[in-house]
A and B are shown apart, each in its own frame.
Chain A
């Protein structure tokens, strides 16, 4: 009887996932309770402004998760991930604009304010359907997914990899930014969408709605995390890591590398789109600057700082760096980008596995050392 080997060792003893889910629940519930149940006069009250900030960080965390899935596990360094985030955000924004109805400044029941201002006579065809929330939800997923599919289809089939792929993803998001800046695109030009009134009939200026949005974001982040965990713990996840480390070798084992990359890229784009869709109602504005190349690069930095290839590291990195950004830009704003750049250099040089790697380093090293000793003792000598 052969011994039973455990293959899913990391999934079974996954303390990281427990810590992650526990911490996330604590953050979300704690913020909500301290906002709703504690009087504003109390020292531990969390203001709605601060609560919205937490919601924003969690959207960024979901974006970081989507980057880690493709970069940390499959080696696809996308410097255009913010494009999918922004597209999801625009889909949500279009719904929220239609939801305003005749309460806009110009009181037009069909056309959003910016269209009246720009002398639109009728609603552009691609705005139809966005008055239905379910349709808008579908688009938040379908639009980023379709773009990722089309882009990935060509890029991965042509075997564009490494820095070249990073550059064309960067070009993709830059091109979209320029396109969305144009007034005649029908997306509000450089002003984008703002002045939202309500979502599904609930007032977006109410504290309770913000609490609900925060809780929703927390739930979506947890669910997305578990889905990513399932993917990376499956055999497909091991194929992804094989592709990351030795792409052509994986082909010679009979795996269609392009198709693996394509699917994981599409999944990642969907997660980024959902993150953008959750971001817009909490922040109250979406404009073309969300497509800006620097946003995608910052996201990669969050993942690197947290520790790539761990999933929770990406989330931790997004929360920490964005907290630091909020703190620094309110105290010494001119120093922020220098601090961010320095952080990236330091992490790359001294913490290649990020903060999570630092925390896990000791136990991992000890385990590898044990195995190394074992390997040396047992040379393959038997027949």
Chain B
């Protein structure tokens, strides 16, 4: 967890599905320690962009680098995760059959090969780390509960907790506050802001109030490329943005 961190550099990424261009020469830079919000109407390519960064989707052309020398397009999903990019999915995806504690344990940073995990035991430091995260996400009481019985909001929090356990340098967070109560949204905003600086954070979100409350810099995607970039006021007053997205 270095304060300097690595920059994310994306250049002219193009992804097409059956002729439809989900990403169209997308170029984007995220600086180390930055908190960036990405907004855009449905189908603008937000999730596809995250899929490319995390290795799930291979682009037709373009560049995606993490730091000066990591070529994300040549790496597999686990390699990218191990290199320090963590992701929270749009639909909360936790391991339903495992307990809350076990979910966090599996997310723990470290060697993740079969033979290592076969004989792995939690060190006191790791144990304390899980405890800290349980406290942050407010699920100490439920640590032995199967993740399947958690409420939607609690699953969101558990997944954020798993992201924290990974200690990534870059967090990709897809719609973190969907299904949360106003108090929970407030806590999430505070948490994401506290993470920025030490980590780079990229948040994709529909909730405009939420974006306004956390974002310094906002990128608007439209039809697979960047339509506008700047602070919230600049973006909201941009006539092109008003036309395609906010104006309606």
Q: Which residues of A contact B (CB under 8 A)?
A: 2-7, 9, 231, 234-236, 238-239, 241-242, 244-246, 248-257, 259-260, 263-264, 368, 371-372, 374-375, 378, 380-383
Contact A239 B144 (CB under 8 A): no
Our pick among B81, B101, B128 for the contact of A251 (Cβ within 8 Å) is: B81
The reply on B123 being an interface residue by CB < 8 A is no
How far does the alpha carbon of A58 sit from the alpha carbon of B106 in the complex, in Å? 35
| Given A246-B93, A253-B166, A259-B113, CB of A371 within 8 Å of CB of B149 | yes
In the assembled complex, the CB of B86 is this many whole angstroms from the nearest CB of chain A, namely 8
Residue from B81, B105, B142 in contact with A371 in the complex, judged by beta carbons closer than 8 Å: B142
- Among the stretches B5-13, B38-46, B130-138, the one at the interface with A is B130-138
Find chain B residues with CB under 8 A from A241 CB.
95, 97-98
**Are B142 and A7 in touch, CB under 8 angstroms?**
no
Q: Which residues of A contact B76 (CB under 8 A)?
A: 251, 256
Scan residues 109-133 of chain B and give those whose CB is less than 8 A from a CB of chain A.
112-115, 117-120, 122, 127-128, 130-131
User: Quick one: given A251-B78, A254-B166, A256-B78, are A7 and B117 in contact (CB under 8 Å)?
Assistant: no
Please name 7 pairs of A and B residues whose Cβ atoms are closer than 8 Å in the assembled complex, sorted by A: A235-B120, A250-B106, A253-B166, A255-B112, A368-B146, A371-B146, A375-B154
Contact A249–B138 (Cβ < 8 Å): no
Instruction: Please state if B138 and A381 are interface contacts (CB–CB under 8 Å).
Output: yes
Q: Is the CB of A257 within 8 A of B142?
A: no
Contact of B157 among A231, A264, A378, A380 (CB under 8 A): A380
In the complex where A5-B101, A7-B122 touch, is A374 in contact with B106 (Cβ < 8 A)? no
Task: Name B residues whose Cβ lies closer than 8 Å to a Cβ of A.
Answer: 54, 56, 76-78, 81-82, 86-87, 89, 93, 95-98, 101-102, 105-107, 112-115, 117-120, 122, 127-128, 130-131, 137-139, 141-146, 149-151, 153-154, 157, 162, 166, 183-184, 187
Q: Determine the distance from Cα of A255 to Cα of B95 in the docked complex, in whole angstroms.
A: 14
A216 to B141 CA separation, bound complex (whole angstroms)? 47
Q: In the assembled complex, which residues on chain A have CB atoms less than 8 Å from the CB atom of B113?
A: 256, 259
Complex formed: what's the CA distance from A372 to B141 in Å?
A: 11
Cβ-defined contact, B141 with A251, below 8 A: no
Nearest CB of chain A from residue B96's CB, rounded to whole Å? 6
Interface centre among A236, A244, A253, A374 (most CB of B within 10 A): A253
Chain A nearest CB from B40 CB (Å) reads 22
Q: Which residues of A contact B96 (CB under 8 A)?
A: 245-246
Q: Is the interface of A mostly helix, strand, loop or mixed?
A: helix
Contact B112 A254 (CB under 8 A): yes
Ranked nearest first, the 4 interchain pairs of A and B with the lowest CB-CB distance are A380-B138, A254-B81, A2-B131, A251-B77
Nearest-CB distance from B63 to chain A (Å)?
22
Cα–Cα distance between A255 and B166 once the two chains are bound (Å):
12
What separation, in Å, do the CA atoms of A283 and B141 have in the docked complex?
Answer: 55
From B102, B130, B131, B145, give the contact of A238 (CB < 8 A). B102
Q: In the complex, A3 Cα to B154 Cα: how many Å?
A: 21
Contact B138 A235 (CB under 8 A): no
Contact of B149 among A246, A368, A378 (CB under 8 A): A368
Task: Give CA–CA (A245, B106) in the complex, Å.
Answer: 14
Complex CA distance for A286 and B164, rounded to whole angstroms: 55
Residues of A within 8 A of B128 (CB): 2
Q: How far is the CA of A236 from the CA of B121 in the complex (A)?
A: 11
B129 (CB) vs chain A CBs: closest residue:
A2
Q: Is the CB of B107 within 8 A of A253?
A: yes
Q: Which of A242, A375, A381 contacts B142 (CB 8 A)?
A: A375
